[in-house]
Amino acid sequence: MRDEFVALLLGQVGQHEGRDPDGNWNNQQRYSTETPGLEWSDGQPWCATFEAWAAHRTGMDGLWPITASCLYAVNWWKGKGRWSEYPVLGGPFYLGPDGGTHTGVVVAYDADTITTVEGNTNTGGSPQGDGVYRRTRDRRGPGSPYGYGVPAYPEGTVSADPGLGGVPTAAVAAPSTTSALPPPPSAPPPSAPVADPDGFPGAGAFGPGRSNAYVTRLGRMLVGRGGGRFYAVGPGPDWGEADRVATAAFQRAQGWTGGGADGLPGPLTWELLVSGRGSDIPPAAPAGPPPFPGRDRFGPGQVNDSVLQLGEQLVRKGFGGAYRVGPSRSWSEADRRNVAAFQRSRPELSGDADGYPGPLTWQLLFS
């Protein structure tokens, strides 16, 4: 999984964001719009979104923070106890005093440097660049990483961290076009059928107790068709309830009911997934406004998830103009100015547009 993830990121090197009519780079790129839940972030700094896009594409939604915020990602790794001060192969690094400035993925490291692939940077390593680049950065000294996330790759962790194996140097294997290929098979007898790699493996490959590569492939195809939210951990070979629920959601998306949407793939379900045909799983129905967390969660000195939730919703609603860098968990003057702009836009709030959210501001913002 690590090699597949890194290869996907490296395959994007040379891609650039869009330009405004005046020629300035504008942070508009494909990765936001192709990552469920992060569509709102198009036009915002996108280094973390780039990683979330690749994690989603490779079925790692549960192993990687699907967010556009570096600061949120740092706290996500720390909250799971998967944080290190040492490089981790295939893991993210974070820059800035609190890790909230910029991120990229380590593809190799030695005693002094890390080799990385990064979105929203440039040849100089800026945290607000124009495209996807491969770079080399110092492990220590000014501008070195704040720390590293430790993904729970099924193949294990490779890290310079003494507590995680202490591998002094490492690199993701470069994909090979020749050496990795198996020798050509001998021709089958005239009567032997040629296996179809995309053919339905049979109903016996799926269901409780089954563990095989077909279950993994099914899960990854379902994630690619909108089923990522059903997997708390990325698809794997062991059949689980997430596979059944995601399969049933895909079947219902085709208009099937009853036994036709039982969550067990048959030949037609498999064929639609393999070919990319049929209807995708629709997004979850939007819930009502989340409960107001209280006035004391907002204002100078406040650092919490409610501040980040507020900022991300302001951006979605088109009131993120005061942010120079994307929303974070730390309250700032930019948050206050954006809230005030939203309040002035609503007649119910315009008489009290002080920039601090109360219950009505919260309800209207999230409606």
Number of separate domains in the chain: 3
Tell me the pLDDT of the chain (367 aa) as tens digits.
899 999 999 999 999 999 888 888 999 999 999 999 999 999 999 999 999 999 999 999 889 999 999 999 999 999 999 999 999 999 999 999 899 999 999 999 999 999 999 999 998 889 989 999 999 999 999 999 999 999 999 999 999 999 999 999 999 986 543 333 344 444 444 444 444 567 888 888 999 999 988 999 999 999 999 999 999 877 899 999 999 999 999 999 988 887 788 999 998 999 999 888 889 999 876 667 899 999 999 999 999 999 999 999 998 888 988 888 778 999 999 999 999 999 999 988 877 899 999 999 999 999 8
How high is the pLDDT of residue 197? 63
- Which residues form the domain of 264? 203-275
Verify that 67 and 155 share a domain, yes or no.
Answer: yes
Strand partners, 211: 238
- CA dist., res. 156 & res. 158, Å (int): 7
Verify that 8 and 138 share a domain, yes or no.
Answer: yes
Verify that 105 and 9 share a domain, yes or no.
Answer: yes
| Maximum separation of any 2 CA atoms in the chain, in Å | 84
- CA dist., res. 90 & res. 115, Å (int): 11
How high is the pLDDT of residue 198? 76
Strand partners, 103: 94
pTM (two decimals): 0.51
Residue type, 165: G
- CA dist., res. 180 & res. 175, Å (int): 8
How high is the pLDDT of residue 286? 66
Which one of 275, 310, 333 terminates a domain?
A: 275
Verify that 227 and 259 share a domain, yes or no.
Answer: yes
DSSP letters for 34-65: TSTT-GGGTTS--HHHHHHHHHHHTT-TTTS-
Query: Do the beta carbons of residue 72 and residue 34 sit within 8 Å?
Result: no
Query: Do the beta carbons of residue 155 and residue 2 sit within 8 Å?
Result: yes
Q: Is 337 helix (H, G, I), strand (E, B) or coil?
A: helix
- CA dist., res. 92 & res. 149, Å (int): 5
Query: Do the beta carbons of residue 106 and residue 115 sit within 8 Å?
Result: yes
On whether residue 6 sits in a domain, the answer given is yes
Verify that 164 and 226 share a domain, yes or no.
Answer: no
How high is the pLDDT of residue 233? 79
**CATH code, domain with 343:** 1.10.101
How high is the pLDDT of residue 356? 96
Verify that 346 and 244 share a domain, yes or no.
Answer: no
Verify that 261 and 315 share a domain, yes or no.
Answer: no
| Alpha-carbon separation of residue 100 from 47, 50, 63, 93, 327 (angstroms) | 11, 15, 20, 11, 10
**Residue 258 φ/ψ region, left for φ over 0, alpha for ψ in the -120 to 50 degree band, beta for the rest:** left
- CA dist., res. 116 & res. 136, Å (int): 6
- CA dist., res. 298 & res. 214, Å (int): 48
Query: Do the beta carbons of residue 154 and residue 91 sit within 8 Å?
Result: no
Verify that 140 and 24 share a domain, yes or no.
Answer: yes
Verify that 37 and 146 share a domain, yes or no.
Answer: yes
Strand partners, 355: none
Other Cβ atoms closer than 10 A to 323: 19
- CA dist., res. 342 & res. 317, Å (int): 9
Query: Do the beta carbons of residue 269 and residue 247 sit within 8 Å?
Result: yes
Backbone angles phi, psi at 213, to 5 degrees: -70, -25
On whether residue 160 sits in a domain, the answer given is yes
| Alpha-carbon separation of residue 87 from 7, 68, 69, 112, 144 (angstroms) | 18, 22, 20, 11, 11
Verify that 52 and 161 share a domain, yes or no.
Answer: yes
* Rg over CA atoms, the chain: 23
Verify that 251 and 324 share a domain, yes or no.
Answer: no
